């Protein structure tokens, strides 16, 4: 066997082994299966819903207004987890977006006010701000997930490489900071 094809020791890998071709096939199969639908009241009293597991698109929203979105952040954060653990944490994360909605809206108001106050008039500044708002919401939603999972969060990831999570936290923090630098 040529050295370039030699297996890498499991303990040396930073990224979990993923067969992307079969992973895509699995996503297509999941799309054909029925999704799991959950309803819950937020701490501020609004009935919210999360639809996970019905394929590549997740849906989350208030009442019957559900916004479809690709689960890219959940996919990155949950790489290497068992399917049931991946789904459990994804559900908590999606509910985290809805539970932290008031904090996100407050942040949005403060950020937009500062943007207007400091003369943020270019499209690039507003785009950077929008992307940093997304990063903020992802960060607080994952913090919600960590908090609500308690000590189980560490157990879920006990034998899973940390690189995807390090990448998430690093990238989101940099994006968040870039938004503030755009002011």
> What mean pLDDT comes out for the span 78-103?
94
Provide the pLDDT for residue 56.
Answer: 75
* Least confidently predicted of 24-38, 109-123, 135-149: 24-38
57 or 155, higher pLDDT = 155
Provide the pLDDT for residue 46.
Answer: 95
CB 55 within 8 A of CB 31: yes
pLDDT tens digits, one per residue of 169-178: 999 999 999 9
Domain ranges of the chain: 3-181
pTM > 0.95 = no
Q: pLDDT band for 64, please (50, 70, 90 cuts).
A: confident
Q: pLDDT band for 12, please (50, 70, 90 cuts).
A: very low
Quick one: CA dihedral 156, 158, 159, 163, positive or negative? positive
Q: pLDDT band for 155, please (50, 70, 90 cuts).
A: very high
CB 49 within 8 A of CB 38: yes
The H or E element spanning position 88 is helix 83-99
Provide the pLDDT for residue 8.
Answer: 45
> What mean pLDDT comes out for the span 32-46?
80
Provide the pLDDT for residue 4.
Answer: 47
Provide the pLDDT for residue 91.
Answer: 93
Provide the pLDDT for residue 25.
Answer: 55
159 or 23, higher pLDDT = 159
The token pair that represents 56 in the structure block: 């590549």
Helix (H/G/I), strand (E/B), else coil: 48:
strand
Quick one: CA dihedral 36, 39, 42, 48, positive or negative? positive
- The mean pLDDT value of the chain amounts to 84
Provide the pLDDT for residue 34.
Answer: 45
Provide the pLDDT for residue 23.
Answer: 58
């Amino acid at each position: 066997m040529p050295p370039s094809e030699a297996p890498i020791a499991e303990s040396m890998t930073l990224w979990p082994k993923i067969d992307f071709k079969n992973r895509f096939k699995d996503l297509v199969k999941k799309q054909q299966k029925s999704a799991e639908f959950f309803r819950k009241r937020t701490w501020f009293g609004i009935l919210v819903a999360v639809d996970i597991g019905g394929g590549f698109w997740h849906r989350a929203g208030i009442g019957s207004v559900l916004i479809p979105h690709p689960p890219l952040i959940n996919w990155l954060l949950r790489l290497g987890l068992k399917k049931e653990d991946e789904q459990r944490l994804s559900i908590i994360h999606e509910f985290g977006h809805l539970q932290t909605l008031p904090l996100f809206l407050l942040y949005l108001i403060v950020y937009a006010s500062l943007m207007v106050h400091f003369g943020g008039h270019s499209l690039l500044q507003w785009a950077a701000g929008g992307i940093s708002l997304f990063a903020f919401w992802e960060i607080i939603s994952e913090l919600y997930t960590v908090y609500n999972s308690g000590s189980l969060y560490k157990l879920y990831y006990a034998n899973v490489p940390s690189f995807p999570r390090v990448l998430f936290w690093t990238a989101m923090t940099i994006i968040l900071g870039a938004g503030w630098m755009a002011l």
